[in-house]
């Protein structure tokens, strides 16, 4: 592998606590709770009545009417985040080689609202021929990176990684490898998922959703919240970024992947997959556990996940775990599915740039089995050099990505 270094030069965020980097950041500093009573549909027949909807998203601000008409919401959220990231990066498309610009996206559900719309039409009319002919074309999850590539003229490799809640990290890692290998110069990478009735129903049936608020690592945590959003990064070769005088948020120095190979919906209680991913990320980055200043947790707020992740951090970091801050942004955002780790990676880049750790909100009662420093309720100014973001998913997919403050 070549020695191309990879840096983050642009960010775009569409989240339940704000659309746009600054709106997100200011809301996160205040500890805003983005999990609210649902408006997208009537949840009265469900045990859970709340979720994380993006209420300030206006598709017309980012897309033409004809594009809105032929895209599902996941693509709309992703294109909006991509537009923000590209503008933020200052990348001049007239001077770039489009064939060396890639798109790497993650998702859990793809375009589930398209499927739900088709099913509802068939259910109401009893005739599948009443489903509009353009609807099936919007459904494939591969349409998400394809729409981004088409709208912004990125003609290099593009793909979708459907590894559920770890998909954003997987997508960033793939784009990172392409740049390191010299295959491309820059890429959009991230994840997106819309609010899905299918996901909401599924997690309710699993009894995984909270009836109250999301409380990661708290003794009284009662589950996660289904949410939606998109996170996008522009990453590029360091030499190319320096040559055009780009702003650099942080450097990506490595990542690690693993798999529990345990159960579809429950993490291995021994943390095997997460331990593997975290160890690999540290080794591949050329750092030691002592170098880690902060960990952005997967932190869903479920009993088993939070306990397992605490075990993972303690197993890999050893004594260093006692003094390493660990916080969960899902306490504010809920679980944005395939967008989660992309949003969290972008947030980590902002934390490095601004030397502030975002908190775990709603934390009140310590759990003896979750005994780390979870940055409760209040952001913390501190020196941040090396930051790791964890993401785990159904089917045992595990991932950790390592960012470092750029020092030249």
Greatest C-alpha distance within the chain:
63
**CA–CA separation, 256 and 341 (whole Å):** 14
Secondary structure of residue 83 in the 3-state scheme:
helix
Question: How close are the terminal C-alpha atoms of the chain, in Å?
Answer: 21
The region that residue 244 occupies, defined by phi over 0 for left and psi between -120 and 50 for alpha, beta otherwise, is alpha
Q: Which of 141, 158, 296, 298 is an active site residue?
A: 298
**CA–CA separation, 250 and 180 (whole Å):** 16
| Close Cβ partners of 279 (under 8 Å, ≥ 6 residues apart) | 256, 316
**CA–CA separation, 26 and 295 (whole Å):** 20
Does residue 370 have an active-site annotation? no
For β-strands 158-161 and 101-106, DSSP reports them as: parallel
For β-strands 326-327 and 356-357, DSSP reports them as: unpaired
Q: Which of 189, 259, 335, 348 is an active site residue?
A: 335
Secondary structure of residue 45 in the 3-state scheme:
coil
Does residue 335 have an active-site annotation? yes
The three state secondary structure string of 325-369 is: EEECCHHHHCECHHHHHHHHHHHHHHHHHHCEECCECCCCCEECC
State CA 378 to chain mean position distance: 22
Does residue 165 have an active-site annotation? yes
Phi and psi dihedrals of 252, rounded to 5?
Answer: -90, 125
**CA–CA separation, 289 and 321 (whole Å):** 9
Number of CB atoms found within 10 A of residue 217's CB = 28
Q: Residues with catalytic annotation?
A: 165, 298, 335
């Amino acid at each position: 592998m070549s020695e191309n270094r990879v840096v983050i030069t642009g960010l775009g965020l569409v989240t339940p606590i704000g659309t746009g980097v600054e709106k997100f950041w200011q809301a996160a500093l205040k500890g805003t709770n983005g999990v609210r009573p649902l408006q997208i549909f009537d949840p009265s027949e469900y045990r859970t009545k709340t979720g994380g909807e993006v209420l300030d998203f206006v598709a017309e601000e980012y897309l033409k009417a004809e594009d809105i008409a032929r895209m599902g919401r996941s693509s709309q959220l992703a294109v909006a985040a991509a537009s923000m990231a590209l503008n933020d990066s200052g990348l001049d498309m007239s001077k770039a080689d489009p064939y060396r610009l890639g798109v790497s996206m993650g998702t859990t559900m793809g375009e589930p609202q398209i499927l739900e719309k088709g099913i509802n039409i068939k259910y109401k009319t009893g005739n599948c021929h009443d489903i509009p002919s353009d609807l099936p074309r919007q459904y494939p999850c591969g349409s998400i990176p394809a729409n981004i590539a088409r709208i912004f003229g990125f003609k290099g490799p593009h793909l979708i990684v459907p590894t559920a809640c770890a998909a954003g990290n997987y997508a960033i890692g793939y784009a990172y490898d392409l740049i390191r290998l010299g295959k491309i110069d820059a890429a959009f990478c991230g994840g997106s998922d819309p609010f899905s009735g299918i996901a909401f129903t599924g997690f309710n049936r699993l009894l995984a959703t909270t009836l109250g608020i999301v409380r990661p690592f708290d003794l009284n945590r009662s589950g996660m919240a289904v949410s939606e959003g998109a996170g996008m990064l522009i990453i590029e070769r360091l030499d190319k970024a320096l040559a055009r005088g780009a702003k650099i948020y942080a450097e990506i120095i490595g990542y690690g992947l693993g798999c529990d190979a345990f159960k579809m919906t429950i993490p291995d209680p021994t943390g095997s997959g997460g331990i593997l991913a975290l160890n690999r990320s540290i080794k591949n980055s050329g750092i030691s556990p002592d170098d880690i200043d902060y960990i952005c947790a997967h932190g869903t707020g479920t009993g088993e996940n939070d306990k397992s992740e605490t075990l993972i951090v303690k197993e890999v970091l050893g004594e260093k775990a006692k003094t390493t801050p660990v916080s969960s942004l899902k306490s504010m955002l809920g679980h944005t599915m395939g967008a989660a780790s992309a949003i969290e990676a972008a947030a980590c880049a902002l934390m490095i740039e601004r030397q502030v750790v975002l908190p775990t909100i709603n934390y009140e009662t310590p759990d003896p089995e979750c005994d780390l420093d979870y940055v409760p309720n209040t952001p913390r100014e501190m020196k941040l050099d090396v930051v790791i973001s964890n993401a785990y998913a159904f089917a045992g997919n595990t991932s950790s990505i390592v960012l470092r403050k750029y020092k030249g």
